[in-house]
Amino acid sequence: CSCLDHYCAGIFFFLPNICRQGVSQCFGISTWIHGTIDKHHHSPTSMFHCQDYTFTVYKHSCCWFLGPFYHLVRLFHPEYVRPLLMSKSVGQSLLISNGEEWSRRRRLLTPAFHFDILKNYVAKFNSSANTMHDKWCRLVAEGQTTLEMFDHITLMTLDSLLKCAFSYNSNCQESTSEYVSAIVKLSDLIIDRRQNILHHWDWFYWKTEQGKQFKQALSIVHRFTREVVQKRRALINQQRETEAQSNRTKTPQRKKDFVDIILLSEDEDGQGLSDEEIQAEANTFMFAGHDTTASAICWTLYNLARHSHYQEKCRQEVMDVTQEQDGHEIEWEDLSNLPFTTMCIRESLRLHSPVQAVTRRYTQDMALPEGRTVPQGAICLVSIYGTHHNPAVWTDPHEFNPLRFDPTNAQSRASHAFIPFSSGPRNCIGQKFALAELRVVVALTLLRFRLTPGTNPELGSSSGGVRRLPQLVLRAEGGLWLQLEPLNPPNVKEPLDE
């Protein structure tokens, strides 16, 4: 299937389903590298058509072979995905550490995402969204009624994540910040590197201009987190000493951010994380958290722009909820009172999942339904896109239909049919954070703007026919353009007649 060549150095052979004896038995069939990198024009859209073809024919799984060296088991059905995602025998995950080390860190990080902590972040989501909306109002007043969503929303999610993680007001939506530019640069360089096979070789990459830029951006990011962590550790120690010396009960506490929680958390043996471990975790949050949430917000707004009746229904719901507060803020308590908006967000996460797949390598043979086995050591690619678009699982999978997520339909949905945050022990630790931010930003946007599909001024193509661009997260080819019509504050109450 030539459209996959861009992603992999050679030709894949599809085999109908996983061999009953295991993948390795089938391996002899393909024994040579074809070497067709970039022979065919890269087209993400044909890549998706190709995937649709695969799971229409093979229903739950297939194997891809890349010459003699590399084979991959690709799975896209809940029954097949479930045993793999729920297993504890994961050898490698791409995002962070493995085994015992991962398990300890995960336990220490979990309190940072507790509801009591997330509550404090809602005000920060509001303030970052307000900054973005003020900017949109200014741009619209200047005549720019159509805007590219990823540019704006990525800066907004970075802004809010920096406030939540480090209590750092970067002001990055209004002016450039060295740290934020470095994060954006690193994301771009990672995508570039993936597309150039020679750059996969470390020794070569560090000698290239991109490799040097990567190291430079990385050192800016590391310096920033190191300084934040060290200063905070010093502040917490100082506070403890003052409290001990003055023999007082605790001094009034400021609201805690991620760094505070992680610095204070300890395992059963009273051991916390070292400064280096905390820095690594903080960096992971920044990378795992900002692009993914931005992609989810952009695609939700896009889907609502294309379906004006659903947009109107969400807006009405948000107006009802915020009526008491004059529509200025979304509060923590409001989030559970936005059921239809939440259904639209979930349907958007299904249709345009920010993360397209997760990969795993298992430390033991993994049993799958119908007597099939994934042998130890094989790389498994759990396709989130495939599971979310598999016609054996979803009726009209390409339709945006939020009613699928009506709580009354939950019973009929197979477990693991909807996995935007993956599932099992290594699922997304930030999913509640992301869902809270999504609801705040979508609700405030609908309250202030009417959205319609826009046109990319350079290409002149309508956003109605936007194409998916799978990068680190799902983006749109040529950007995602929406037209904004500012709404008068919809629920400012009329003064009462005396």
Q: Which residues of the shown chain bind ligand HEM in the complex (CB under 6 A)? A: 93-96, 106, 284-285, 288-289, 292-293, 296, 354-355, 358, 420-422, 426, 428-430, 433-434
- To the nearest whole angstrom, how small is the minimum distance from the Cβ of residue 399 to ligand HEM? 21
CB nearer to ligand HEM: pick between 11 and 186: 186
Give the tokens for residue 162.
């920096």
CA end-to-end span of the chain, whole Å? 74
Helix (H) or strand (E) holding 452: strand 449-453
- To the nearest whole angstrom, how small is the minimum distance from the Cβ of residue 421 to ligand HEM? 5
CB nearer to ligand HEM: pick between 108 and 321: 108
Q: How far apart are CA 213 and CA 235, in angstroms?
A: 33
- To the nearest whole angstrom, how small is the minimum distance from the Cβ of residue 48 to ligand HEM? 18
CB nearer to ligand HEM: pick between 105 and 452: 105
CB nearer to ligand HEM: pick between 15 and 282: 282
Q: What pairing do the DSSP bridges indicate for beta strands 366-367 and 449-453?
A: unpaired
- To the nearest whole angstrom, how small is the minimum distance from the Cβ of residue 418 to ligand HEM? 12
DSSP secondary structure letters along 251-269: PPPPPP-HHHHHHH---TT
A 10 A CB-CB count for 215 gives 12
CB nearer to ligand HEM: pick between 375 and 430: 430
- Contacts of residue 350, defined as CB under 8 A and 6 or more positions apart, other chains included, come to 388, 394, 404, 418, 420
The torsion angles phi and psi of 414, rounded to 5 degrees, stand at: -65, 145
- To the nearest whole angstrom, how small is the minimum distance from the Cβ of residue 335 to ligand HEM? 15
CB nearer to ligand HEM: pick between 373 and 383: 383
Residue 478 burial class via C-beta count within 10 angstroms: exposed 0-12, middle 13-18, buried 19 and up: middle
CB nearer to ligand HEM: pick between 225 and 292: 292
Q: Identity (one letter) of the amino acid at 171?
A: N
Say how many CA atoms lie within 13 Å of 87 toward its Cβ. 23
- To the nearest whole angstrom, how small is the minimum distance from the Cβ of residue 258 to ligand HEM? 8
CA-to-CA dists, residue 427 to 124, 310, 416, 424, angstroms: 25, 30, 12, 5
Helix (H) or strand (E) holding 154: helix 149-166
Do 183 and 290 form a contact (C-beta atoms < 8 A)? yes
Give the tokens for residue 82.
């479930």
CA-to-CA dists, residue 316 to 183, 236, 303, angstroms: 37, 45, 17
Do 368 and 22 form a contact (C-beta atoms < 8 A)? no
Residue 428 in marked binding region? yes
Residue 338 burial class via C-beta count within 10 angstroms: exposed 0-12, middle 13-18, buried 19 and up: buried
The residue sitting closest to ligand HEM, measured at its beta carbon, is 430
The torsion angles phi and psi of 449, rounded to 5 degrees, stand at: -140, 145
Helix (H, G, I), strand (E, B) or coil at 470: strand
- To the nearest whole angstrom, how small is the minimum distance from the Cβ of residue 272 to ligand HEM? 18
- For the beta sheet containing 379-383, the strands, ordered from the edge strand earlier in sequence to the opposite edge, are 15-16, 61-66, 70-75, 379-383, 357-362, 90-92
- To the nearest whole angstrom, how small is the minimum distance from the Cβ of residue 442 to ligand HEM? 12
- To the nearest whole angstrom, how small is the minimum distance from the Cβ of residue 23 to ligand HEM? 20
- To the nearest whole angstrom, how small is the minimum distance from the Cβ of residue 346 to ligand HEM? 11
Q: How far apart are CA 332 and CA 337, in angstroms?
A: 10
CB nearer to ligand HEM: pick between 19 and 472: 472
- To the nearest whole angstrom, how small is the minimum distance from the Cβ of residue 368 to ligand HEM? 19
Do 135 and 466 form a contact (C-beta atoms < 8 A)? no
A 10 A CB-CB count for 197 gives 12
Would you list which residues are annotated within the binding site?
Answer: 428
Would you list which residues are annotated within the binding site for heme?
Answer: 428
